[in-house]
Structure 1
Amino acid sequence: MWNSKQLPTNIKVRIFNTNVKAVLLYGAETWRTTITTIKKVQVFIDSCLLKILNIHWPDTISNSLLWERTNQLPAEEEIRKRR
C-alpha cells in the first residue's frame, strides 16, 4: 500500500496515523518514557514515513523536514501531549 502510486501521500499519512501510529502509541501516557524507548519509537515512525514518501537509502532527508512534509510531531511531543 505504501508503494501505491494511486494513493496520494496525504491519504497514506492519514492511514498511517489512524492504523499504525494509534496502535503503536496506545497507552503511551502510562509508559515509563526513557530516552531509549522514545528513540526506538521515533526510529520506527520515521522509517514508516520514509517508506510512505518513497525515500530510500542512500537518499537522505532531515528529521525535521520529514516531519514537516508529513505534518507530524516528534514522538516525544506526541507522548507528552497525550499525558
Structure 2
Amino acid sequence: MEVSSEKSKVMVSSERVNDASITMDDKPLELVHKFKYLGATLHEDGSSTVEVRTRIALATAAFAKLGKIWKSSISLKAKHKLFRSLVSSILTYGCETWTLLADTERRIQVFENKCLRKLLRISYKDHVTNESVRELVFAYVGQQEPLLATVKRRKLA
C-alpha cells in the first residue's frame, strides 16, 4: 500500500493544538480546516451542522424526483418503503460521525414530517398535528422507527 503525499492533508481537531507540522517524504502536509472523506465533510471543530444541511438537501432533491410516485395511487405502505429505502438512506449516510445538537435534531424531524405529510397528501393548511400524521402512518404502515431514532441508533452501534 502506498500513501500519496500530494493527496494527504492534516486536520487538527483540538482546542489546545493550533498547528501541526507533519511531513511526508520531507514535504510538509497541507493543514486544512475541513475535508471530504467518503462523501462526508468533516470539520476541525467537530460540528456537523453543514453536513446535516447538505444531507437534508440531497434527500429533499431525491424526494422531489420521486414526485410522480408520491402522487400516484400506489399504497401508502409501498410509498413508505420507497421513502425509507431511496430517500432516508441518503439523509442518514455517514450519520455515525455527526454531532447531534438540538437544532440538528429539529431539522431532521422537520424533514421527515414534511415528507410524511406529502406521502399522506396532508397540507400544513389542513392544521393536522405532526403527532396525528405519525399516528396515520402507524395505522397504514405499522410501527416505524423515526429517522432521528435511526440516526441515534447508528451512532451507538
Structure with higher RCO (Cα < 8 A, 6+ apart):
1
Match for 1:2: what amino acid? W
Partner of 1:35: 102
More strand as a share of residues = 2
Partner of 1:81: 153
Q: What is the RMSD of the two structures over their aligned residues, measured on CA atoms?
A: 1.6
Q: Percent identity?
A: 32
Stretches of structure 1 lacking an aligned partner (at least 5 in a row):
none
Does the residue aligned with 1:2 lie in a helix, a strand or coil?
A: helix
Partner of 2:72: 4
Equivalences, count: 82
| Change beyond 3 A, Cα 1:60–1:48 | same
Paired with 1:75 and 1:15, the residues of 2 have a C-alpha distance of 14
Q: Which runs of 4+ in 1 moved over 4 A?
A: none
| Change beyond 3 A, Cα 1:40–1:57 | same
Superposition pairs of residues 1-83 of structure 1, within 5 angstroms: 1-5=69-73, 7-70=74-137, 71-83=143-155
**Normalising by the residue count of structure 2, what TM-score does the alignment of the two structures yield?**
0.48
> Larger C-alpha radius of gyration, 1 or 2?
2
| Change beyond 3 A, Cα 1:72–1:66 | farther
More helix as a share of residues = 1
Partner of 2:63: none
**Alpha-carbon offset, residue 68 of structure 1:** 3.3
